[in-house]
Amino acid sequence: MTRRPTGTVLDVDGVALHVREDGPTDAPVVLLVHGFSGSLHSYDRLAPLLADRFRVLRPDLRGHGCTGGHTGLDAVSQATTLAGALKLVGADHVTAVGHSFGADVVLALASLSGAVTRTVLIGQAPDYTHATFPPGNGLLARPFVSRLLQRTVSLAPLGFVLRPTPLRQAHADFSATSPAMAHAVLTERRHVLATNPLDAQVAALGLPTLAILGRRDSLYDHAASATRYRAAGAGVHFLDAGHTPFVERPAEVASLVASFSLDA
């Protein structure tokens, strides 16, 4: 599926990173990082609610959206590319917001770039200890299965059927995601978080951090996650939502992010 760019393409050390920017250029910066099989469009409902007060940056991660590619898909490589992008656009004092796998990326980014001064983690547990994934999800990490599923989902008739429904964007995003991302997230990431979970990263960074968790998240235990994040020094806020609170409750998430970002 061909994706049409909706923003700017930045050359970051040979990576053509697709980024959309909204809001005043002299306002405080909020970076919105999507999760696995998402795109910058994951935040279409949230970004407009922040753009009146913030300079909002939304990238398509490597292996996703209009950035594309099949290498450098792990959190540290993604973060290295984003650190270069922040330099190119002159962004500092950044509140970095990451959803799901994007939470891994923003914490890695904070460890690499002094431009990040606050982090917000949405819908992500510290590791896979309390995760509940659909049966058979491990098969998706196998390259052949991942490629086959993507080709099936990308079929034009399916896209046409979903066109009038809210699933249209999810279908488009998944279709544009590199099949190699499944292995990076479902296999490699599991091993990384087993030795360096996100709560340990939060504690080591020592930056102001807010975790926004959905009470109805079917993938992660929100209560167990909250306990660990609080012990690491992060603030925690629950919303009556599932795994994507910024889609289900965008106004509430925007309020939380804005208050947290502007809290001196």
The mean per-residue pLDDT over the stretch 194-217 comes to: 98
- Check whether 161 has a pLDDT greater than 50: no
The mean per-residue pLDDT over the stretch 229-243 comes to: 98
Domain 8-134+182-262 falls under CATH 3.10.20.30: no
Tell me how far apart the alpha carbons of residues 130 and 189 are, in angstroms, rounded to a whole number. 15
Confidence bin at 1 (pLDDT 50/70/90): very low
Starting at the edge strand found earlier in the chain, the sheet holding 55-59 runs 8-12, 15-22, 55-59, 29-33, 94-99, 116-122, 209-214, 235-239
Ordered by start, the domain boundaries in the chain are 8-134+182-262
Q: Mapping DSSP to helix (H, G, I), strand (E, B) and coil, where does residue 220 land?
A: strand
Contacting residues for 104 by C-beta, under 8 A, at least 6 apart = 75, 98, 124, 189, 192, 193, 198
pTM of the model: 0.89
pLDDT score recorded for residue 134:
65
- Check whether 144 has a pLDDT greater than 90: no
